[in-house]
Chain A
């Protein structure tokens, strides 16, 4: 009897510690999400939001080309960025792990991720300085007499991709580096002893062992890239809109909360699908 009451008292105390954080998460994360999901089933009549409890917004999304295109633009940009970032980051991580002396490696990594800590807004503005019509690249090229007319670099998809790649090369370098240094050097020595040449060692031993790091980094890239509004807005301009830009457009000019909520839910479904695919792949890899 005595132990039971002690346990209940212990338990009550434990709940006292956990409850505030749980309540906060429920009140400001779970409930808002439910509200948003509910609003996505409403319709907008003038400035009023009327609960209709139907999927008209979702049907509209697939019927209206400018909405659906946002998703495809976002997916295209995200896949391009992920691919380029992996290709650029892998050699960098390898060089830091293999060629840079041990005691400098930490420093090299800190340096590599330093610009990571500027806000999206400042970082995108910095790239605008470089790429704008009167920016660093155009002015330098004109000054050197290589071109006479400024190149159209900003307000293009290329600019968006450059801005994103800049950010995610740093991120992927970290995750791939973490994988590379974990790998015991014996594996490679064994492969070399068995007669594999440099390329074969890389292709059959090193690459498969670092794939998890690549996948984790690539997944993070995917999630952060597809949900970002700033980079495409500042660097890509209004020529073609990515999904987050379409969402913000619904909010701003039209105050169409139901459609914005619908698009957000769709964005979240896409991210969740990517997560499931990634988790399944990692699980398969392990077994």
Chain B
């Protein structure tokens, strides 16, 4: 009995210790973003919103934030549309070499972002495409397309096939079947893919860093802020980035949760 109580105690202390380790940096980041002083380290001098004010008054950070949102929403939309169409084509029709096609579409997932970025950089240099937010967006579609395709493809079951067939028998054209029957049925997984893609693009650094020049995204701007060392303003903007990611995940969780609840 004693040993079981002891092992219970041990488990709970281990759990708490590891959660402490996992949350330590985030807690420090957020706490000292309110620091009333020049250094985001203990002792904590008292709370102020001054640094958030500075973040929102900083035009460079704000334009980077706008760029990030634009790239994230744009690349996630393109990745979702391409991924949905490909999943529809591969799940509903018999195509030659469909295994190879699926493999090709998933392939970018297995390669590090650094290599994808470098390949695109050398190619853009070679062709003479100048770097901009467009090139960043292209890179982000490359990393998000496999994700969107895989998620949507996995959710295309046979029971939806019959409903689509019924719609076709009733005279719907193929594009009508796709947009008015399949897409609404698959909406939960399409949205899940979309929000996941937005999150990935929003947080991505190395592709955005290598493929942009004058206009940059938020992680790249934060990277350049790091040169000035520890600064409560960096804490504040980092907290904002974290908050947006958590918000996106909450939306995702609600969608997935709703879907499982419906079933």
Q: Are A29 and B26 in contact (CB under 8 A)?
A: no
Whether A260 pairs with B118 at a CB distance below 8 angstroms is: yes
Q: Is the CB of B119 within 8 A of A230?
A: no
CB distance from B182 to the nearest CB of A (A): 11
Q: Is A22 interfacial (CB-CB < 8 Å)?
A: yes
| Contact between A170 and B238, CB atoms less than 8 A apart | no
One of B25, B105, B113, B119 near A22 (C-beta < 8 A): B105
Residues from chain B with a CB closer than 8 A to the CB of A61 are none
A99 B11 Cβ-Cβ under 8 A: yes
- Contact call B22/A18, Cβ cutoff below 8 A: no
In angstroms, Cα B142 to Cα A129, docked, is 33
Residues of A within 8 A of B95 (CB): 11, 14-15, 18
Q: A198-214 vs B: 1/0 string, CB under 8 Å?
A: 00000000000000000
Contacts of A228 in B (CB 8 A): 112, 114
Complex contacts, B121 vs chain A, CB 8 Å: 251
Q: Is the CB of A25 within 8 A of B107?
A: yes
CB within 8 A of A120: which of B14, B149, B203? B203
A130 at the interface (CB under 8 A from B): yes
For the complex, give the distance between the alpha carbons of A283 and B127 in Å.
Answer: 43
List the A side residues contacting B93 at CB < 8 Å: 10-11, 13-14, 17
State how many angstroms separate the Cβ of B163 from the closest Cβ of chain A.
Answer: 18
Work out how many contacts link A and B, with CB atoms closer than 8 A: 233
Beyond A24-B145, A115-B26, is A129–B235 a contact (Cβ under 8 Å)?
Answer: yes
B185 surroundings in chain A (CB, below 8 A): none
Q: Knowing A112-B19, A123-B25, A166-B25, say if A28 contacts B14 (CB, 8 Å).
A: no
B111 touches A268 (CB 8 A): yes
Which bucket holds chain A's interface residue count?
35 or more
Are B86 and A20 touching (Cβ within 8 A)? Answer: yes
Q: Judging by beta carbons under 8 Å apart, are B222 and A122 in contact?
A: yes
> Which stretch (B53-61, B154-162, B186-194, B240-248) binds chain A?
B240-248
Within 8 A of B (CB), among A66-118: 88, 91-92, 95-96, 98-100, 110-112, 114-115, 117-118
A166 touches B21 (CB 8 A): yes
CB pair B141–A28 under 8 Å, yes or no, is: yes
Q: Are A25 and B108 in contact (CB under 8 A)?
A: yes
User: In whole angstroms, how far apart are the Cα atoms of A267 and B122 in the complex?
Assistant: 17
A129-B85 contact in complex given A14-B95, A114-B246, A271-B112, C-beta closer than 8 Å: no
Instruction: Confirm or deny: B66 has a beta carbon within 8 angstroms of a beta carbon on chain A.
Output: no
Report the Cα distance A282→B252, complex, angstroms: 32
A95 touches B14 (CB 8 A): yes
The complex places the Cα of A91 from the Cα of B12 at a distance, in Å, of 11
Contacts of A129 in B (CB 8 A): 25, 28-29, 32, 40-41, 230, 235
Contact A18 B89 (CB under 8 A): yes
Beyond A32-B123, A36-B119, A140-B42, is A17–B89 a contact (Cβ under 8 Å)? yes
Chain A to chain B contacts (Cβ below 8 Å), 20 pairs: A11-B93, A15-B95, A21-B149, A22-B105, A24-B145, A33-B119, A114-B26, A115-B26, A118-B241, A119-B205, A120-B205, A121-B222, A122-B242, A128-B230, A129-B32, A129-B41, A136-B28, A223-B110, A251-B210, A264-B119
